[in-house]
Amino acid sequence: MYIPIILGTAREGRESEKVARFMLEKAIEFGLESEIIDVRNFRHEATDNTKTSDQARRFKEKVLKAEGLIIVSPEYNHGYPGELKMMLDMLYEEYSGKPVGICGVSSGVFGGARMIEQLVQICVFLHMVPIGEVVNFSRVQDLFDENGAIKKESYHDRARKFLGVLTGYAETLSCGKDAKS
């Protein structure tokens, strides 16, 4: 089961990259095929925003192949990063019916909770299936050691629970497709 991880910030020094790497490790442990889709590699220049760009085409291939998506994103001023929104806006019908799980990241105590609320609205109306189970990575700057290992043990369980719900939906929704075919 291929469920890639969208890393939603392009900022230099982004802590969310550590979270994405942690989630990738957990996804692979969980038996998934996964990879990080880094928003840095899917950015448009200035006015080049057609849905037929090279970036859009490469992103499309991955989304079409995916049985679900994980989004790892920080919260900027209570919303999602602009570069994440620009990337999501490149596609439309490709998302339809795919479950999506969101991991919020912040340097404060809310772990991206408000960003997740806004992102959920976007996802529903892109006809994705956002799961109610989320993981909030709070005080991310203190959460990983110098080797990128997570210091709070409880995140291992949270990640597993999150992946359990997400893959449960992925299976259910693909079972529906099999039944129809």
Chain residues binding a copy of itself by CB under 8 A are 10-12, 40, 43, 46-50, 76-89, 92, 109-110, 113-114, 117-118, 120-122, 124-133, 138, 168, 171-173, 175-177, 179
User: Which is closer to a copy of itself, CB of 30 or CB of 110?
Assistant: 110
Q: How far is the CB of 82 from a copy of itself (least distance, A)?
A: 3
Q: How far is the CB of 98 from a copy of itself (least distance, A)?
A: 12
- Please provide residue 51's backbone torsions phi and psi, each rounded to the nearest 5 degrees: -85, 5
Q: How far is the CB of 116 from a copy of itself (least distance, A)?
A: 8
Q: How far is the CB of 115 from a copy of itself (least distance, A)?
A: 10
User: Which is closer to a copy of itself, CB of 107 or CB of 138?
Assistant: 138
User: Which is closer to a copy of itself, CB of 69 or CB of 87?
Assistant: 87
User: Which is closer to a copy of itself, CB of 12 or CB of 147?
Assistant: 12
